[in-house]
Structure 1
Amino acid sequence: MPVKVYERILQLFEAEGVRTLFGIPDPNFVHLFRLAEERGWSVVAPHHEASAGFMAEAVSRLTGGPTLCVGTLGPGLANLAPAMMCAKVENSPVVFLGGQRARITEQRVRRGRIQFVRQSALLEPSVKYAASIEYADQTDEIVREGLRRALSGTPGPVYIEYPIHVIQEELDVPPAAPPETYRLTRQTAGPDRIAEAAALIGAAERPILLVGHGVHTARAAEPVRALAEAMACPVIQTSGGTSYIPGLEDRTFPYGFSPSAVEAVVTSDLCLAVGTELGEPVHYGRGRHWLDNAAARKWILVEQDPAAIGVNRPIDVPLVGDLRAVVPQLVDALKDAPREPAPDLADWIDRDAARLAELAESAPAGMSPVHPARLVVEATKAFPQDGIMVRDGGATTIFQWTYSQAKPHDVLWNQNFGHLGTGLPYAVGASVADGGRRPVLLLTGDSSFLFHVAELETAARLNLPLVCVVAVDHAWGLEVGVYKRTFGPGSAETGVHWSAATRLDRVAEGFGCHGEYVERDEDVAPAIKRAFASGRPGVVHVAVDPKANSEEMPSYAEFRTWYAEGMQ
């Protein structure tokens, strides 16, 4: 049967397992939106296109696959630009679909046109691929090429636009083909390389497994757990890979923030890195904690993009392929060579547990407003065991790195790009991807939360099990600290403060959400529990001490070492 172009686009994405659509419909997309809903898709229309893009990125992280986000021509695409840039830096395969006026209009030599700009040229630097469906019969090849580019090598976003005159045209096409017919899927590494890697692991006395963001966005926790157990080694988290793999919680240590992690790195004689670019937050695997024992340490890297091998540091055995396929190859190669646990593993586990307990005990208590360290301790103690954790904010996130008491299996935050304001859209998108089954806790600062506060209405409309715990100091807390360190205490702090009359719990109530106001640390956890029990999305406004928030950020000096050049 003939199909319209917009229906064919949906069919092509359905073949990739995509059944969620984010965006704000306009004349280019009303047919697509209505048909998607009729076909059983989850269709989410937020209040800002940037939020739509961040929500789509969160779905990609929770599913391990591509996602679809649309934007209206002109201003809609302009609003999507920050989400595109974020997806590019965060390696998220989001397909952004943009509307455009008919090509006869675009090619006219005219001035003063309404809601029009030549979009593709502006957006090309922010995506891996940009194309336009000029003719209806290009639909299959362009959408498939977009998906191929988004998912090949290092994943990332693509942009496809179609002019309004194309959407109603009809196509006579066969059923949409499965992905493996037009792109490489589940690429394995060569057996010779797998054998080399297995031999290095077998010869190592103190191996470590360095786990990054990609392990979690690929939804590869189970094979990586089997690999860690086969290697009998500690798991070192990059700052982007802070989700905990089920079964490995006790032996997983955050790089740079746990003495156990530092000691494991310093003494290691082999590092197997998976799902990480070996970037600045791990000092490229060359500087700082990696300097000791560097000559004796061997490196194995599982990497999907062959062009990335050896860029940041030399690699002894590169394993090029999809980690979802390569890691099971390694597990199989090691199955007949059981290992004893690393010599200090039990001690590192005990010391890290003692570190977390000591932090929970020592975080300043009894203050009003609440000390931000105590807020993190109390909020993460109240974190539901099966929940999804979302992070946002500057100072608030830095306090979380050190003081968090939770070990969630799903953590979403924006490490590489550092884009503030993604927290609430990420939380909405994650809950949509999860089908609203698990509770979602967003722990953020007020400055970040206010970026997309209108999406509280989206959360309320969808009735998502989402609670936002907001550290409120009525300021850009991290930037206040920069002023103090740059100019000294008491100097002018221009552009970083706002009205102390802002009450985010009341804002939440205005959107139909549950609101709580807290100014004592003993009230944090009960307020979170009441918010989850309310049956509505909730906001817990926690007044935090501004001085502590700007001056006492823990491990700030370690954070500054991430900037390898140009900003120290």
Structure 2
Amino acid sequence: MVKVYERILDLFEAEGITTIFGIPDPNFVHLFHLADERGWNVVAPHHEASAGFMAEAVSRMTGKPAVCIGTLGPGMANMAPAIQCALVENSPVIFLGGQRARITEQRVRRGRIQFVQQAPLVEASVKYSASIEYADQTDEVIRQALRVTMSGTPGPAYIEYPSHVIQEDLDRKPPLPPERYRLVNQTAGADAIARAVGLIAAAEHPILLVGHGVHTARVGESVRALAEKLACPVIQTSGGTSYVQGLEDRTFPYGFSPSAIEAVVRSDLCLALGTELGEPVHYGRGRHWVANEDNRKWILVEQDPAAIGVNRPIDVPLVGDLRAVVPQLVSAVAQRKASADLPDWVTKDAERLAELAETAPSGGSPVHPARLIVEATKVFPADGIMIRDGGATTIFSWTYSQAKPHDVIWNQNFGHLGTGLPYAVGAGVADGGQRPLMLITGDSSFLFHVAELETAARLGLPLVCVVGVDYSWGLEVGVYKRTFGPGSRETGTHWSTTTRLDKVAEGFGCYGEYVERDEDIAPAIKRAYASGKTAVIHVVVDPKANSEEMPSYDEFRTWYAEGTQ
């Protein structure tokens, strides 16, 4: 016989899940204790929202579901932001919520401590919500949560179990592997593959449009093989900013690279992988796609059949899992001759990056935010994991980054600030603390979950946080200026210039440096990595430039112009 909490661990282990995030309480101490005995990564952060973001990062780095726990009442309330983000970011995170015994819920009484009906609060933000009311429901509820989160468009699930259930007994039986109870590695039909191959063969100027799903499904190797067979440019969506190893030179960010725009305009075939064709790519039918629309064919690889044709018409839908469909295409398509324009686009994009590095404003103190990005990304470790956060800081990063990381994590769909530090911790846990991590963020975002510096330090993660400090909500200051004009009063956007994040870091046992000049940024980052500690580099940036000189801002505004402008 086994307890319910032990069976829950068995079922997750069958999926290859061995990491859990959350703050233990009486509902969960037995589960945490046993998970630790089994050798799981058991990570207790300082806030349940951070726990959810950490779990989401693990899912992105492994291609598997992840698990986060929230104690009843306040713990679940704290976890709400992470649940909402997981939904919008298409992340298959299983959120376990504790609850008092059902007798408490059924009584007609007032003044109950640490109690609220949680399921109705969560249901609109998850793909699946259920409660383990009886011990023998454990297998079916856990499996259904995993089945739903990993089917169609991935997303979160919420499972609640009342305290009277967790200690009940179950008969021990071997847990089923994933392929026995849910669809895995779904391939596309042979007829659809044949039609896609026909379009590819007929195209003169194909492009690959690579989105967020390519990163989270961990299919970079097969995407590289496909791109090499097609001998075509790779266009990144805003979510697909992780560079596939071996395709760095021919990968161009949509909307921010002239090479990307030229390739899109000229294309007569777009093969879209791991993208919903959402607002940041103008649904694949507006702005840069208008030219040559009548001559362009579309192939979309999509796991959710209900998503086909929603944002734009598709000529050949390939319904299935990227992990299976991309290898199908690699096997089926013939080697193509490289586009005559590709070498020119590669050269022009390299020249663009070099020019940006050369022309980013320099020499001033405080530092121009463009120069901060240039100097920080020049020394980004080639094998590192990049995490982005912040409003203005991320906008500057899109344009000025000199690095092409193979793993980039940021909250691209929901725009939820403060995810950066928890994402960095989760990514480091998933990686086993082997690869260096760099978080580039603004001070306003960094302060959301600054307590997780202690978590990163406790885990010994090789994380350097480069924080652009303008002592304000830089993006919002810019909104005030554009709305009310220069010199307007920017209500609620500024704070004390005595804030020293490097000293805060030292208080957590981390390495800290304070930087005010361009030339000191790269050496400070190098010293931070050499310290062997989690580190914070506090870089004072020019608040006027940070709010008024955001590059490509007009392009960014076209992403969400509908209904907001």
Same-fold call, TM > 0.5? yes
Counterpart of 2:505 (choices 503, 508, 519) is 508
Deviation by residue 1:240-267 (Cα, 9 ceiling, x = unmatched):
1100000000000000000000000000
1:123 counterpart = 2:122: yes
Deviation by residue 1:478-504 (Cα, 9 ceiling, x = unmatched):
000011111111110000000111000
Aligned pairs for 1:155-554 within 5 A: 155-334=154-333, 337-554=334-551
5+ residue gaps in structure 2?
Answer: none
For residue 165 of structure 2, give the secondary structure of its aligned residue in structure 1. Answer: coil
Paired AA for residue 481 in structure 2: K
Percent identity over the alignment is 81
Structure 1 residue 567: Cα displacement: 1.0
Deviation by residue 1:463-518 (Cα, 9 ceiling, x = unmatched):
10001000000000000001111111111000000011100000000000000000
User: What CA distance in whole angstroms lies between the structure 2 residues aligned with 1:317 and 1:117?
Assistant: 48
Structure 1 partner of 2:131: 132
For residue 130 of structure 2, give the secondary structure of its aligned residue in structure 1. Answer: strand
Structure 1 residue 564: Cα displacement: 4.2
Paired AA for residue 520 in structure 2: D
For residue 197 of structure 2, give the secondary structure of its aligned residue in structure 1. Answer: helix
Deviation by residue 1:309-368 (Cα, 9 ceiling, x = unmatched):
00000000000000110000001001xx22111120000000000000000000001010
Deviation by residue 1:23-60 (Cα, 9 ceiling, x = unmatched):
00000000000000000000000000000000000000
Deviation by residue 1:111-153 (Cα, 9 ceiling, x = unmatched):
1111100000110001000000000000000000000011000
Aligned pairs for 1:104-115 within 5 A: 104-115=103-114
Q: Which runs of 4+ in 1 moved over 4 A?
A: none
For residue 505 of structure 1, give the secondary structure of its aligned residue in structure 2. Answer: helix
Give yes or no for contact 1:233–1:342 (8 Å, CA) kept in 2. yes
For residue 164 of structure 2, give the secondary structure of its aligned residue in structure 1. Answer: coil
User: What CA distance in whole angstroms lies between the structure 1 residues aligned with 2:313 and 2:58?
Assistant: 34
Give yes or no for contact 1:98–1:159 (8 Å, CA) kept in 2. yes
Paired AA for residue 460 in structure 1: A
User: What CA distance in whole angstroms lies between the structure 2 residues aligned with 1:257 and 1:65?
Assistant: 31
User: What CA distance in whole angstroms lies between the structure 2 residues aligned with 1:322 and 1:149?
Assistant: 14
Give yes or no for contact 1:66–1:94 (8 Å, CA) kept in 2. yes
Structure 1 residue 110: Cα displacement: 1.1
User: What CA distance in whole angstroms lies between the structure 2 residues aligned with 1:29 and 1:213?
Assistant: 33
In angstroms, what is the RMSD of aligned CA positions? 0.5
Structure 1 partner of 2:17: 18
Give yes or no for contact 1:283–1:564 (8 Å, CA) kept in 2. no
Paired AA for residue 142 in structure 1: V
1:3 counterpart = 2:2: yes
Structure 1 residue 173: Cα displacement: 3.1
Paired AA for residue 525 in structure 1: A
For residue 539 of structure 2, give the secondary structure of its aligned residue in structure 1. Answer: strand
User: What CA distance in whole angstroms lies between the structure 2 residues aligned with 1:463 and 1:352?
Assistant: 37
For residue 513 of structure 2, give the secondary structure of its aligned residue in structure 1. Answer: strand
Aligned pairs for 1:48-127 within 5 A: 48-127=47-126
For residue 332 of structure 2, give the secondary structure of its aligned residue in structure 1. Answer: helix
Give yes or no for contact 1:390–1:427 (8 Å, CA) kept in 2. yes
Structure 1 partner of 2:34: 35
For residue 166 of structure 1, give the secondary structure of its aligned residue in structure 2. Answer: helix
User: What CA distance in whole angstroms lies between the structure 2 residues aligned with 1:387 and 1:506?
Assistant: 25
User: What CA distance in whole angstroms lies between the structure 2 residues aligned with 1:325 and 1:120?
Assistant: 35
Aligned residue pairs total 565
User: What CA distance in whole angstroms lies between the structure 2 residues aligned with 1:220 and 1:109?
Assistant: 53
For residue 165 of structure 1, give the secondary structure of its aligned residue in structure 2. Answer: helix
User: What CA distance in whole angstroms lies between the structure 2 residues aligned with 1:330 and 1:199?
Assistant: 11
Distance 1:262 1:283, change over 3 A: same
User: What CA distance in whole angstroms lies between the structure 1 residues aligned with 2:336 and 2:394?
Assistant: 37
Paired AA for residue 325 in structure 1: A
Structure 1 residue 90: Cα displacement: 0.2
Paired AA for residue 421 in structure 2: L
Paired AA for residue 308 in structure 1: A
User: What CA distance in whole angstroms lies between the structure 2 residues aligned with 1:469 and 1:280?
Assistant: 29
Paired AA for residue 213 in structure 2: G
